[in-house]
Amino acid sequence: MIDGGGRTLMSGLCDAHTHFTWNSGGSLDALGGMPVEEHTIVAVQSARIVLDAGYTMCVGAASAKERIDIACRDAINAGMVPGPRYLASGQELATPAGVLVDGISRIVSGTEEMSRAVREMCGMGVEIVKLILSGESITERVWAKDTYMTDAEVRAAVVEAHRVGKRVAAHARSTDSIKQCLREGVDIIYHASYIDDEAADLFEERRDDVFVAPGLHWLWATLYEAAAFGYPQEAAEAVGYKDELDHSIVGLKQLHKRGVRVLPGGDYGFAWTPHGTNARDLQHFVELLDFTPMEAIRAATVLGGEIFERADELGRVAPGYLADLLLVDGDPSSDVTVLQDHDNLVGIMKDGNWHKEPPAAAK
């Protein structure tokens, strides 16, 4: 028996767009050349930091090396290292024209190469296949409004992944890439920045079988918090991030009203979005997208169970559910920002075992 002392008991959180291999401060351009041994240590450390932040569920959204996500997941499941429940991904699949970061993607061109790559990844044991459909404007080389993969290539990835029970996620900022995802059966759409009316209608048609994880904090922090790291607001606005954030807010509000499942989380692990600050997204859901605090919490808990395809086991505090629990000093249902201070997370339990034991816990 544990006396909660008036604190809040809630489910552990889910980050729906996680990169354990991003190194929280180093240059992403260096990830391609980092030796796999050191890179694996980075990923293991990231997994612990994310669990320290109260995240007991994470969806892998690409690994900078072929098997690091898989190795992390397996080590976590075996109890060798601390970390959240994890759906492992492989390297991003990108066309030669659409690579975001040199050295961390697998390059494919055409449907045959796509099919082979997806089959090989599924054979390695990934649960998520990640496609790069649009650009990322900070590169000043591949742009958010551009689309770099054909419908046929996307369709080939979905067919091969679904054939063996795996799912497909996609980096899709441009309007055309969002519609590709919705037409061709992509399961998880990251960013979804430029939603037009047709795309919103397609989302509503697929609201029971698609998830969206916009990664709002990446946009916000790149605009307003990256100057200290050498990327001033003027530079971010010049390449389109203010325009993209404004469009994202309008489109995501519409999805929320239409009942589309929008989950927090995305792209933590950059210098100005370090691992462990993941709960910033919940604040953005409330302040930018007009979620109530409880709606934001449900998006990060109940919908976490759904994106894990374990809605009867994860994401709730209820009889028969697994004991992934947070004991919080404060009331997140009225103020989600209390989840950003790790000192407020006085207890973190995963699968019935304490990762962080409350001071008053009784043996």
CATH number of the domain encompassing residue 129: 3.20.20.140
At residue 363, the pLDDT reads 39
At residue 26, the pLDDT reads 62
At residue 362, the pLDDT reads 42
pTM value is 0.96
User: Could you tell me the two tokens for 61?
Assistant: 């959204």
- Name the domain count of the chain: 1
At residue 269, the pLDDT reads 94
Q: Measured between alpha carbons, how far is 176 from 201 in angstroms, rounded to an integer?
A: 14
Among the listed residues 255, 177, 176, the one whose alpha carbon sits nearest the alpha carbon of residue 216: 255
**Domain assignment of residue 248, given as a range:** 9-305
Beta strands in the chain (DSSP E): 8-11, 13-18, 55-60, 85-87, 92-94, 105-107, 128-132, 167-172, 188-191, 211-213, 261-262, 325-328, 345-350, 353-356
At residue 211, the pLDDT reads 98
**Torsion, CA 27, CA 54, CA 321, CA 264, rounded to 10:** -60
Any domain includes 152: yes
At residue 361, the pLDDT reads 54
Q: Measured between alpha carbons, how far is 153 from 117 in angstroms, rounded to an integer?
A: 11
Any domain includes 153: yes
Identity at 150, one-letter amino acid code: T
Calculate ∠ Cα 272-274-278, nearest 5°: 110
Using 50 as the pLDDT threshold, list the residues of the chain that sit under it: 362-363
Q: Measured between alpha carbons, how far is 282 from 173 in angstroms, rounded to an integer?
A: 20
CB neighbour class for 228 (10 Å; exposed up to 12, middle 13-18, buried from 19): exposed
Any domain includes 336: no
Any domain includes 348: no
Tell how far CA 108 is from the center of its chain: 23
Q: Do the bridges between strand 188-191 and strand 128-132 make them parallel or antiparallel, or are there none, so unpaired?
A: unpaired
Any domain includes 361: no
Identity at 350, one-letter amino acid code: K
Any domain includes 45: yes
What are the tens digits of pLDDT across the range 63-86? 999 999 999 999 999 999 999 999
Among the listed residues 260, 273, 159, the one whose alpha carbon sits nearest the alpha carbon of residue 225: 273
Any domain includes 353: no
Any domain includes 321: no
At residue 116, the pLDDT reads 98
